[in-house]
Amino acid sequence: MRVGRVVSADMAIGTRAASRVIRVDLGPLGIVQSVGQLALVPESQLVGRNVVVCVNLGPRRIGRYVSDALVLGVPHPESPDGESQALPLYVDDRAEPGSQIF
């Protein structure tokens, strides 16, 4: 698991559940894409923030997108039935992108 800084958080098109395509800067490890059910979190609350990212799961196809990483979160209290909308786990802004989580 690593610290990642959210670069963009656009809404995904054509996914089963409302999702975002999140580009995450991992510093020296580069930029990865994560597709996840973070649609209830406004883009303005994601971009520029540090989040916890799992990067060793391998790519996964979600609709027309490929997700290379998983932004970790907890259940969103307003998640609709049948969806797993999440609130991301944020990391202090002083942490450097790419830093290990331990």
| DSSP letter assigned to residue 100 | B
The residue type found at 35 is: V
**How far apart (Å, rounded) are the C-alpha atoms in residues 68 and 36?**
11
**How far apart (Å, rounded) are the C-alpha atoms in residues 54 and 70?**
5
Determine the structural domain holding residue 41 and report its residue range.
Answer: 2-77+85-91
Flag residues of the chain having pLDDT under 50: none
**Inside any domain, residue 34:** yes
What proportions of the chain, in percent to the nearest 5, are helix, strand and coil? 5, 45, 50
Please tell me the predicted confidence (pLDDT) of residue 85: 96
* Domains of the chain: total: 1
Please tell me the predicted confidence (pLDDT) of residue 57: 93
**Inside any domain, residue 102:** no
Provide CB contacts within 8 A for 21, sequence distance 6+.
8, 9, 10, 11, 12, 33, 34, 35, 65
**Inside any domain, residue 31:** yes
Which CATH number do you get for residue 45?
Answer: 2.40.50.140
**Inside any domain, residue 99:** no
Please tell me the predicted confidence (pLDDT) of residue 82: 86
**Inside any domain, residue 67:** yes
